[in-house]
Structure 1
Amino acid sequence: MVAIAFLLCCIVFSNLQHKLPVMQQYQQSLLQDHTLCSKTKFCAVARKIKGPAFGIFIIYIVTLSIFPGFIAEDLQSEVLKDWYPIILITVYNLADLMGKSLTAFYVPQCIKRAICAATARLLFYPLFIVCLHGPNWLKTEVPMIVLTFLLGFTNGYLTSVLMILAPKSVPYSESELSAIVMTAFLGFGLVGGSVLGWFWIL
């Protein structure tokens, strides 16, 4: 019942949004600048932002190949028992929210550093492997909770940073199309990470 009410509200508000002053101004700017997204090639813009697009792609490849499949299925705790995967999933989601919220206070100006940080997340693979097959003191709950927190935090923060900086790295006339390109690569990352999650073998 709540979902139906929420869906109806979304339909009503989406039909009323064109009356907002900001939407009217945006529509006027589209009419004045007829070149926006009409003469700009998708592939040309994709080439311009290939770095951020790769970054957003690799972020979700890494994240979804580890979380939630590996965390929910392959880990056991004698202390936390069945609560262990629930706690890890909660930690991940809270960390992801914190990372996304942090961009309200600080966004780095160098997009190359954000891309390097996104690529550096590949280090989560050996780190999780060490926590699973390494010394006994690394197989405890604390290292895994810390790693899960870092996985979620970097996922949220770097996603927001790249989504903010990518449209700013191209001319205004291409910014909307660049956001579409970024969303497409985010989707590719979601699909690729989900597929790789089925083949997580440690």
Structure 2
Amino acid sequence: MVLINAAKNMDVEETGSINNENLDAIENENEEEIVDDSEERELVVNDSCSTKVLDATDQPRDSYWVVYLLFYLFGITSLVPWNFLITANDYWMYKFRDVTPPVNFTMEVRKTQFQAEFTSYLNVATAIPNLIFLILNSLYGHLVSVKSRLQGSLLVVTLCFLVTTTFVQIDTDEWQNTFFIITMVTVVIMTAASAIFIGGIVGIASRFSKEYMGAVVSGQSLGGIIAAIAQIISLAFKISPLHSALIYFIIADLMLVTSLIAYIMLYKIDFFTYHILRGTGGMAPNRHREVSMLLVMKKVWVYAFSIFAVFAISMAVYPAVTVLVESHPVTKGTDWNNIFFVPVVNYLIFNVGDYSGRLVAGFLLRPLNKWLIAVASVLRVIGVPMLMLCNALPRKNLPVLFPWDYEYIMIMIVFAFTNGYLTNIIMINATREVELHEREKASSVIATMLSVGLTVGAAVGMLLVHML
């Protein structure tokens, strides 16, 4: 309760209040000025939206932290396409298996071309559209209202995932090529829409106190934990690839539909609509004040570099290198070695460590100095050779210096924790470096540089695998 009250007091101090004289002055000043107030009109005129905030003298409260919890949900939802598609690896291997009758039953079963290359294609189909549409959102997102962007993008992601879920029950053995093309097109569309949603929800969160940005960022990591647990449960109960994928995708569908409904309902909450118009007193001119991208970049470039470094370093080894790490040879033949080691350590432990780091950062929020944050972000590169020197197989060049499971797990925990910790600190502090009306643009810049880091890191990871 102390933390909650402190957070609410901080939010009140940060937002301040606008007296009636200032409001009259703003109204008189802008009588001669024609402005685009379409978004504010959408909020005020539409009967589905709250209007009390425009006449209230006191700032509304987030009763029962409903908005905070919904931001958590939106954070989880924002990475649903990636988390649930990549987790259903067994399903994709089944869909693209060799369906031709074997000539010799003693022949070794080998991966088909689709099986061997699907993950690489999936990475490309997610990385490139994500980067392109985050850039487009940061440059031109202001031309479309936030409400339209988020509702539209979330609807597109939901429809695409429903299509993906439908194909689980359809026999595609006779037309794998067509199914592959449909899947890639769907993933591209889904990723593009998801990028717009991420850019928009991060921009909205920047208008609230730091706890709300922390909720979105932490929710993204929590989504990875949910997907990893679902995978481990399906492995433990030996569920077939089709049934496990159906479970994954239905869970994702429910989360997406729930998020879509929740976002529509947000506009009925006074606390949310107050912060959407925050800093404008309900007036449009400040809300639509022109924001210079160059000026914002000058203010946040250190944080932009830091988020780039964090994710480029992480993606250089995770999951390209870490997925190759095997349990110590003494566990050979056990279920831990054959079934659970990679899902538990590579996915669950990493996501739990990442999530823990984001939670701790939300309370501690240290360091505040942007140069120290940048140095800490770069120092994480130490984890790259350490993970490469774990028991990743096959390898031809490098020795194994950390063969034991506990060594690998300890390195992974530190690597994941620092990833989450620095991510949250950067996302929160970057928006505090700019003026209130610049926060949405600054958030888009940071999200874009994060995506650039992911793309560069994935490319470097392909090279590091060949260096093992």
Provide the TM-score with structure 2 as the length reference: 0.40
Q: Is the 8 A contact 2:307 2:423 kept in 1?
A: yes
- Report how far residue 139 of structure 1 moved: 2.4
Q: Distance in 2 between matches of 1:46 and 1:170?
A: 10
Q: Is the 8 A contact 1:36 1:174 kept in 2?
A: no
Which of 305, 311, 315 lines up with 1:54 in the alignment?
305
Which of 434, 448, 452 lines up with 1:188 in the alignment?
452
Q: Which moved more, 1:151-160 or 1:188-197?
A: 188-197
Q: Distance in 2 between matches of 1:68 and 1:198?
A: 10
Show the counterpart of 1:113: 372
Q: Is 1:102 aligned to residue 102 of structure 2?
A: no
Q: Distance in 1 between matches of 2:448 and 2:288?
A: 15
Q: Distance in 2 between matches of 1:27 and 1:146?
A: 42
Cα deviation, 1:21-64, whole Å, max 9, x if unaligned, reads: 12321343355363446411223212221111011011111111
Change (3 A) 1:38 1:189: farther
Task: Give identity over the alignment, percent.
Answer: 19
Q: Distance in 2 between matches of 1:71 and 1:130?
A: 10
- Report how far residue 129 of structure 1 moved: 3.8
Q: Distance in 2 between matches of 1:182 and 1:93?
A: 21
Q: Is the 8 A contact 1:52 1:162 kept in 2?
A: yes
Which of 31, 40, 52 lines up with 2:291 in the alignment?
40
- Report how far residue 134 of structure 1 moved: 5.0
Q: Is 1:153 aligned to residue 417 of structure 2?
A: yes
Q: Distance in 2 between matches of 1:65 and 1:53?
A: 18
Change (3 A) 1:2 1:129: closer
Report the AA paired with residue 362 of structure 2: A
Report the AA paired with residue 275 of structure 2: Y
Which of 242, 256, 259 lines up with 1:7 in the alignment?
256
Bigger Rg, which one? 2
Q: Distance in 1 between matches of 2:259 and 2:295?
A: 34
Which of 378, 385, 391 lines up with 1:126 in the alignment?
385
Report the AA paired with residue 12 of structure 1: I
Report the AA paired with residue 283 of structure 2: Q
Root mean square deviation, CA, Å: 2.2
- Report how far residue 5 of structure 1 moved: 3.4
Show the counterpart of 1:66: 317
Change (3 A) 1:71 1:135: closer
- Report how far residue 174 of structure 1 moved: 1.7
Q: Distance in 1 between matches of 2:463 and 2:265?
A: 46
Q: Distance in 1 between matches of 2:354 and 2:288?
A: 32
- Correspondences of 1:162-173 after superposition (within 5 Å): 162-173=426-437
Q: Which runs of 5+ in 2 are unaligned?
A: 1-249, 392-397
- Report how far residue 131 of structure 1 moved: 4.1
- Report how far residue 74 of structure 1 moved: 4.3
Q: Is 1:87 aligned to residue 351 of structure 2?
A: no
Q: Distance in 2 between matches of 1:59 and 1:22?
A: 33
Cα deviation, 1:148-191, whole Å, max 9, x if unaligned, reads: 11110000000001001111122223222111111111111122
Change (3 A) 1:36 1:198: farther
Which of 391, 394, 408 lines up with 1:144 in the alignment?
408
Q: Is 1:17 aligned to residue 266 of structure 2?
A: yes
Report the AA paired with residue 94 of structure 1: V
Show the counterpart of 1:26: 275
Q: Is the 8 A contact 2:299 2:434 kept in 1?
A: yes
Report the AA paired with residue 10 of structure 1: S
Q: Distance in 2 between matches of 1:63 and 1:159?
A: 11
The answer to which structure, 1 or 2, has the higher relative contact order (CA under 8 A, 6+ apart) is 1
Q: Is the 8 A contact 1:102 1:157 kept in 2?
A: yes
Report the AA paired with residue 158 of structure 1: L
Q: Distance in 2 between matches of 1:105 and 1:145?
A: 25
Provide the TM-score with structure 1 as the length reference: 0.87
Change (3 A) 1:36 1:67: same
- Report how far residue 135 of structure 1 moved: 6.5
Q: Which runs of 5+ in 1 are unaligned?
A: none
Q: Is the 8 A contact 2:362 2:424 kept in 1?
A: no
